[in-house]
């Protein structure tokens, strides 16, 4: 859950560095995050960028977990999917993408994650309008792909790799396995 907050608007590499800092400092648990001073927490997570905002978000997440669930993810995991997602969305700093990321990766729930890579790749392919609302794009996928955690996980991982390595902001179309069906080839 911490990683889902820290990865907002940065790379996984930067997130990993911040996560390692939290681990080394013994500040990965909700209680340890609550007990950390603001400046201490900010300095620890600095590699993830936007460290002041993300420190507030981590504190909000840890306070939520402590107040509502006594820091027990097991108790929280007993909630039905819709209620769990609504609870996550009630936390400061948790929007649709972060909530679905937590649903899929932390709780093993079939919730398709729509990120910037998804919008870019499938927008270029002409399969979705990248300007659609998050929920509308998510519905396109969830209506067409079986609701399966392993499948959503793999699909999202493949989208991330393709978006990071090939279908970048400035795409490397010559390396794209979808070049024969992409109307935006050479963008």
Q: What is the pLDDT of residue 138?
A: 98
Torsional sign, CA 22, 25, 31, 35? negative
Spatial distance between the Cα atoms of 176 and 187, rounded to a whole number of angstroms: 12
If pLDDT is split at 50, 70 and 90, which confidence band does 185 have? confident
**Nearest-angstrom CA–CA distance, 100 and 94:** 10
The DSSP string of 42-60 is: HHHHGGGS-HHHHHHHHHH
Place of tokens 């919730």: 111
In tens, the pLDDT along 31-48 reads 999 999 999 999 999 999
Q: Name the residue among 115, 99, 12 with its Cα closest to residue 57.
A: 99
Whose tokens are 């609504």? That residue is 86
pLDDT digits (tens, 9 = 90+) for 111-127: 999 999 999 999 999 99
How far, in Å, CA of 148 to CA of 133, rounded? 23
CA–CA dist 122, 118 (Å, integer): 6
What pLDDT sits at residue 30? 98
pLDDT value, residue 14: 98
Domain architecture of the chain: domains with CATH: 2-106 (1.10.340.30), 116-175 (no CATH)
Q: How far is CA 111 from CA 18, 106, 150, in A?
A: 26, 11, 11
From the CB of residue 119, how many other CB atoms can be counted at a distance below 10 Å?
18
Supply the mean pLDDT for the chain.
97
pLDDT at 186 over 90: no
Which pTM value belongs to this model? 0.94
Q: Decide: 21 and 45 in contact? Cβ < 8 Å.
A: yes
42 and 51 Cβ atoms separated by less than 8 Å:
yes
Q: What is the pLDDT of residues 44-102, one digit of tens each?
A: 999 999 999 999 999 999 999 999 999 999 999 999 999 999 999 999 999 999 999 99
Q: How far apart are CA 117 and CA 122, in angstroms?
A: 8
- pLDDT tens-place string over residues 123-176: 999 999 999 999 999 999 999 999 999 999 999 999 999 999 999 999 999 999
> What are the tens digits of pLDDT across the range 170-183?
999 999 999 999 99
């Amino acid at each position: 859950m911490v990683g889902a907050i820290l990865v907002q608007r940065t790379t996984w590499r930067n997130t990993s560095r911040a996560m390692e800092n939290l681990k080394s400092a013994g500040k990965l648990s909700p209680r340890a995050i609550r007990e950390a001073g603001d400046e201490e927490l900010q300095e620890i997570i600095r590699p993830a960028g936007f460290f002041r905002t993300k420190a507030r978000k981590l504190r909000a997440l840890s306070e939520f977990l402590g107040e509502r669930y006594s820091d027990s993810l097991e108790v929280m995991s007993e909630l039905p999917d819709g209620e769990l997602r609504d609870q996550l969305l009630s936390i400061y700093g948790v929007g649709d993408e972060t909530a679905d990321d937590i649903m899929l990766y932390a709780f093993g729930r079939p919730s398709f994650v729509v990120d910037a890579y998804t919008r870019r790749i499938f927008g270029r392919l002409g399969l979705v309008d990248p300007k659609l609302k998050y929920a509308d794009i998510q519905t396109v996928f969830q209506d067409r792909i079986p609701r399966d955690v392993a499948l959503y996980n793999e699909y999202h991982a493949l989208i991330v790799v393709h978006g990071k390595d090939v279908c970048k902001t400035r795409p490397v179309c010559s390396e794209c396995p979808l070049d024969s069906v992409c109307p935006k080839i050479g963008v």
